[in-house]
Structure 1
Amino acid sequence: MPDAPARFKDLCLDARDHQATADWWCAALGYVRRPSTEPRDPAWPVPIEDPTGAGPLIWVNPVPEPKTVKNRVHLDVVGDTTALLAAGATLIRARDAEIGWDVLADPEGNEFCCFAPEP
Structure 2
Amino acid sequence: MPARFKDICLDAGDHQALADWWCAAMGYVRRDVHDPPEDGWVRPTEWPVPIVDPAGAGPLIWVNAVPEKKIVKNRLHIDVFGNVDELVALGATVVRRKDAEIDWDVLVDPEGNEFCVFAPR
Once the two structures are superposed, what CA deviation does each residue of 1:5-50 show, in whole Å capped at 9, x if it has no partner? Answer: 1111000000000000000000000000002422111000000000
RMSD: 0.6
**Structure 2 CA distance for aligned equivalents of residues 76 and 27 of structure 1:** 16
**Structure 2 CA distance for aligned equivalents of residues 29 and 55 of structure 1:** 9
For residue 54 of structure 1, what is the aligned residue in structure 2?
Answer: 57
Q: Percent identity?
A: 70
TM-score (norm 2): 0.93
Superposition deviation, residue 117 in structure 1: 1.0
| Secondary structure at 1:54 match in 2 | coil
1:54 counterpart letter in structure 2: A
| Secondary structure at 1:5 match in 2 | coil
For residue 85 of structure 2, what is the aligned residue in structure 1?
Answer: 82
TM-score (norm 1): 0.95
1:25 counterpart letter in structure 2: W
Question: Which ranges in structure 2 are unaligned for 5 or more consecutive residues?
Answer: none
For residue 108 of structure 2, what is the aligned residue in structure 1?
Answer: 105
For residue 16 of structure 2, what is the aligned residue in structure 1?
Answer: 19
Off by >2 Å, runs of 4+ in structure 1: none
| Total equivalences in the alignment | 115
| Secondary structure at 1:24 match in 2 | helix
**Structure 1 CA distance for aligned equivalents of residues 80 and 74 of structure 2:** 15
1:5 counterpart letter in structure 2: P
Question: Which ranges in structure 1 are unaligned for 5 or more consecutive residues?
Answer: none
| Secondary structure at 1:61 match in 2 | strand
